[in-house]
Amino acid sequence: MEYSITDYERPSVAVDAAVFGVDDYRAATMDEKRLKILLIKRGEEPFKDMYALPGGFLIKGETTEEAVQRELAEEAGVTGSKIIPLKVYSGEGRDPRGWIISAAYISLTNTVSLSTDRNSDAAEAVWLELIYKVSGETERLEICGDEVSLEIIAENGRVIRNEFPFDHGTIIYDAFKKLQDEVLHHDIIFDLMPELFTVSDLHGPYQMILQKNESMQAFRKRMSPKIEETDMFDDTAAAHRKSKLYRRKKSQEE
């Protein structure tokens, strides 16, 4: 039987990106790094004015990798970030506009300044804090900012509460679980750091992402084969004593 492409229904293809970064939180008596996720405020229907993941449709001739980099540049001004394939989402009814499948990616970057192209379908891009909590088989992701508070709840690895449009709550949850695995097994935590960092900069996000309660002393000892000390200090810290700056050992870089 001769094959004809017209014999088959063809879906539209899109990309979505869960972009993670680490940002400073400074108070009078402490400073620490906190995990952030990049969201865009939708400028068009469906779900106009709701917060969602950056992404969009492929242009003819693009690969999905090229499309996600283009969308990040247009909707958020993010360029050159590391991207990691996550999963293809193709569930029925995931998009009210029709049969649309999405290739989702994780992107890792510092919390760079954001901008949105005037021709983009996004109204604005924002960094929001991501807080992970777990109790028994229930996992909770809280995503919040000055005027935004959204929640994703999963039980036994399945999202049961999604306050995001489309299936973006599920994508964010899956992306965070992938981030946990990459931090635990592949030291991807360094991709969330600037070139120079303190041990405390590593410690805070590492504990939050993995829900580990590890002392600074034990953490420093375990990370010592992977980092090298510099002769520089962090002079922006709120604490009275300046902290030594480190960098990732070149032999550990992928």
| DSSP category for residue 191 | G
Q: Which amino acid is at 223?
A: M
Q: 51: Cβ–Cβ under 8 A, 6 or more apart, which residues?
A: 39, 40, 41, 42, 126, 128, 148, 150, 164
The two three-digit tokens of residue 31, written as one number: 């400073």
Instruction: Given the residues 62, 124, 129, 142, select the one marked as catalytic.
Output: 124
Q: How far is CA 26 from CA 23, 132, 197, 220, 227, in A?
A: 10, 20, 15, 22, 24
Sign of CA dihedral 200, 204, 206, 212: positive
- The answer to whether 238 touches 247, Cβ cutoff 8 Å, is no
Burial of 129 (0-12, 13-18, 19+ CB in 10 A): middle
Cα-based torsion angle of the residue sequence 144, 150, 155, 157 in order, rounded to the nearest 10 degrees: -70
The two three-digit tokens of residue 64, written as one number: 């999905």
Q: Is 124 annotated as catalytic?
A: yes
Q: Which helix (H) or strand (E) holds 241?
A: none
Catalytic residues: 124
